[in-house]
A and B are shown apart, each in its own frame.
Chain A
Amino acid sequence: MKLAMKIAAGAGLGALFAAPFFFGPALAQAPAAAPVVPTDAMVNKGDVSWMLVSAALVLMMSVPGLALFYGGLVRTKNMLSVLMQVLTIVCVAGLLWVTIGYSMAFTNGGALNLFVGGFSKALMKGVDANTFAATFSNGVYLPETTFVVFQMTFAMITPALIVGAFAERVKFTPLILFVVAWSILVYYPMAHMVWYWPGPDFTAGLPDDHGYLWGKGALDFAGGTVVHINAGIAGLVGCLVIGKRAGYKSEPMPPHSLTMTMIGASLLWVGWFGFNAGSNLEANKFASLAFINTMVATAAAGAMWAIIEQVVHGKPSLLGAASGVVAGLVAITPAAGFAAPMTSVVLGAVASVGCFFFVTTVKNALKYDDTLDVFGVHCIGGIIGAIGTGVVADPALGGQGFMDFTVIPAVAGKYDMASQLWVQTQGVLTTLALSGGVSLVLFLLLKFTIGIRPSKEVEVEGLDINAHGERAYNY
């Protein structure tokens, strides 16, 4: 290849110039640069602080944020089942991450390296307080344990998002088995394909060591494909295989506590700053950019949904505004570090319109029972965000473009919106195909072996008392 390989990442030019350089010009020009040896001196205490706080914030998105957001939307008899599913998935996904997940996502996978990592760091082998993980800046590193735990929180929330699609009608143990298999077969490969690369100091020397979509230059700042489209399509497949809830469309199924849903949505919003601004991996001005973009896209989406409801139904609902907030958060996720604040506002508003149309019109027309609109909000919002990233990242619109890391120090690449949109589309299609396909096989396997759906009697009486032996509220 004569053209420099296009490599995308969140950090921009300014950060590189601001960072202390460890390379002279002669070194930068040499194709076989001497390998950089990360040291403690290349770790910034501000970065470490921010990333540890971010990891805790992302955990808060799952528990209690997502758990309460989802829990409030189900009926009283199923409240604990949702809370327990989310809490258990967080625990299991965390353990799986240190067992094989981190290694499968963030190491070289040998012959399969484009698609998945290997087992060289399984059981945290070789990962300790004295190892380092790359950031997006030359010569700036994080303690590897910081990176492991930050990424762990993403591996926790993604499978937890799925359960909303078939809430109120799923067996607990088969669900957990699904999560284990899905994490291994879908999440780790997706994270590897989108985010695995050797870091800015090593890309020039290892031009082919990266995941499939990273190598294509797909822009996904904080996980629009890896997290939201990935979980959203798995949820849709799950709700189709499992089937509609007993009494769907024939009896009322209103949310049991929109107060809980409001608390959950608000915790998601706060936690999402760790998710998006934390994905910058450094506490610099691009983290700040991702932060403000996350704030305003979400505000625009929440307001937009309320406006749409005012026009369509005559009454703006709390659930609508909360749904809009989540749709905006989802949509800005892949674009957080690439967009400008005002293009983020537009992206958030567009996501609200798209998601509103899906959860009200499309879902009713196609008659599938995506209980908590995981597909309608996360997958559709994720697709709008992923494609929209190709637009808002354009430096002509005030975006950050992408960095060409094949040279040291990295320089801004030449942005072409049309080709970027095609790359973004490939990222979306890859996610839909992998997650949709594997999820279909897994759900069908469970359905025809140990069963994935409880008996109608259990479902009608409620999952809390039958699956967990307790009730959410004892008045």
Chain B
Amino acid sequence: MKLIIAIIKPFKLDEVREALTGVGVAGMTVSEVKGFGRQKGQTEIYRGAEYSTNMVPKIKIEVVVGADLADRAVEAIQAAASTGAIGDGKIFVLDVGQAVRIRTGETDETAL
């Protein structure tokens, strides 16, 4: 099993979700996050007070899939989330040791 963590541009969430369900991913966890990479921050001005924010808003998607599905899922996210501009985000893939479905007690890939 693999945990795929994708940091993407917020407006790309729907496309990524559709792409992932298209390759057979059954569920995902989504959070609104802030961070920075190469993309520069934004400047906010409130009357005379100017704040430059280094952190830009992003969406973090966490998906756990069987090992056989991982590559296709990563490709699907990469294709759907790409705009070609800086700030498109990153994808990380980690090994997962165990999974349990709380309702039934099923474990590992049957729990996904």
User: What is the CA–CA distance of A135 and B2 in the complex, to the nearest angstrom?
Assistant: 82
CB–CB B47/A373 < 8 A: yes
CB–CB A252/B53 < 8 A: yes
A363: interface (CB < 8 Å): yes
Per-residue interface assignment for chain B, residues 44 to 63, with 1 indicating a CB less than 8 Å from any chain A CB and 0 otherwise: 11111101010000000000
Going nearest first, the 6 A-B pairs with the smallest beta carbon separation are A360-B48, A252-B51, A359-B47, A364-B48, A359-B48, A313-B45
Per-residue interface assignment for chain A, residues 319 to 362, with 1 indicating a CB less than 8 Å from any chain B CB and 0 otherwise: 11001000000000000000000000000000000000001110
CB–CB B47/A254 < 8 A: no
Nearest-neighbour CB distance to chain B for A380, whole angstroms, equals 13
Nearest-neighbour CB distance to chain A for B19, whole angstroms, equals 31
Q: From B47, which residue of chain A is reached at the shortest CB distance? A: A359
Chain A residues contacting B48 (CB-CB under 8 Å) are: 359-361, 363-364
Per-residue interface assignment for chain A, residues 359 to 397, with 1 indicating a CB less than 8 Å from any chain B CB and 0 otherwise: 111011000000001000000000000000000000000
User: What is the CA–CA distance of A319 and B51 in the complex, to the nearest angstrom?
Assistant: 15
Chain A residues contacting B51 (CB-CB under 8 Å) are: 252, 254
Chain B residues contacting A313 (CB-CB under 8 Å) are: 45
Q: From A360, which residue of chain B is reached at the shortest CB distance? A: B48
Per-residue interface assignment for chain A, residues 263 to 283, with 1 indicating a CB less than 8 Å from any chain B CB and 0 otherwise: 000000000000000000000
Q: From A372, which residue of chain B is reached at the shortest CB distance? A: B47
Task: Name A's B-contacting residues (CB within 8 A).
Answer: 252-255, 313, 315, 317, 319-320, 323, 359-361, 363-364, 373
User: What is the CA–CA distance of A402 and B48 in the complex, to the nearest angstrom?
Assistant: 39
The number of residue pairs between A and B whose CB atoms lie closer than 8 Å in the complex comes to 24
Most buried by A among B44, B48, B53: B48
Q: From B49, which residue of chain A is reached at the shortest CB distance? A: A253
Most buried by A among B44, B49, B53: B49
CB–CB A319/B53 < 8 A: no
Nearest-neighbour CB distance to chain B for A345, whole angstroms, equals 23
Nearest-neighbour CB distance to chain A for B34, whole angstroms, equals 13
Q: List 22 A-B residue pairs with CB atoms under 8 Å apart, sorted by A's residue number.
A: A252-B51, A252-B53, A253-B49, A254-B44, A254-B46, A254-B49, A254-B51, A255-B46, A313-B45, A317-B45, A317-B46, A319-B46, A319-B47, A320-B47, A323-B47, A359-B48, A360-B47, A360-B48, A361-B48, A363-B48, A364-B48, A373-B47
Count of chain B residues with a beta carbon within 8 Å of a chain A beta carbon? 8
Chain B residues contacting A254 (CB-CB under 8 Å) are: 44, 46, 49, 51
User: What is the CA–CA distance of A364 and B46 in the complex, to the nearest angstrom?
Assistant: 13
Interface residues of B in 26-49 (CB under 8 A from A): 44-49
User: What is the CA–CA distance of A129 and B50 in the complex, to the nearest angstrom?
Assistant: 55
Q: From A319, which residue of chain B is reached at the shortest CB distance? A: B46
Chain A residues contacting B47 (CB-CB under 8 Å) are: 319-320, 323, 359-360, 373
Other contacts beyond A254-B46, A320-B47, A360-B48: 16, CB < 8 A: A253-B49, A254-B44, A254-B49, A254-B51, A255-B46, A313-B45, A315-B45, A317-B45, A317-B46, A319-B47, A323-B47, A359-B47, A360-B47, A361-B48, A364-B48, A373-B47
Chain B residues contacting A253 (CB-CB under 8 Å) are: 49
Chain B residues contacting A363 (CB-CB under 8 Å) are: 48
User: What is the CA–CA distance of A363 and B47 in the complex, to the nearest angstrom?
Assistant: 10
Q: From B53, which residue of chain A is reached at the shortest CB distance? A: A252
Nearest-neighbour CB distance to chain A for B36, whole angstroms, equals 15
User: What is the CA–CA distance of A360 and B53 in the complex, to the nearest angstrom?
Assistant: 19
User: What is the CA–CA distance of A174 and B49 in the complex, to the nearest angstrom?
Assistant: 29
Chain B residues contacting A323 (CB-CB under 8 Å) are: 47
Chain B residues contacting A361 (CB-CB under 8 Å) are: 48
Nearest-neighbour CB distance to chain A for B56, whole angstroms, equals 15
Q: From A377, which residue of chain B is reached at the shortest CB distance? A: B47
User: What is the CA–CA distance of A313 and B46 in the complex, to the nearest angstrom?
Assistant: 11
Chain A residues contacting B46 (CB-CB under 8 Å) are: 254-255, 317, 319
User: What is the CA–CA distance of A319 and B49 in the complex, to the nearest angstrom?
Assistant: 12
User: What is the CA–CA distance of A317 and B48 in the complex, to the nearest angstrom?
Assistant: 12
User: What is the CA–CA distance of A40 and B23 in the complex, to the nearest angstrom?
Assistant: 85
Nearest-neighbour CB distance to chain B for A359, whole angstroms, equals 5
Nearest-neighbour CB distance to chain A for B31, whole angstroms, equals 15
Nearest-neighbour CB distance to chain B for A304, whole angstroms, equals 15
Nearest-neighbour CB distance to chain B for A236, whole angstroms, equals 15
Nearest-neighbour CB distance to chain B for A307, whole angstroms, equals 15
Nearest-neighbour CB distance to chain B for A190, whole angstroms, equals 28
Q: From A373, which residue of chain B is reached at the shortest CB distance? A: B47
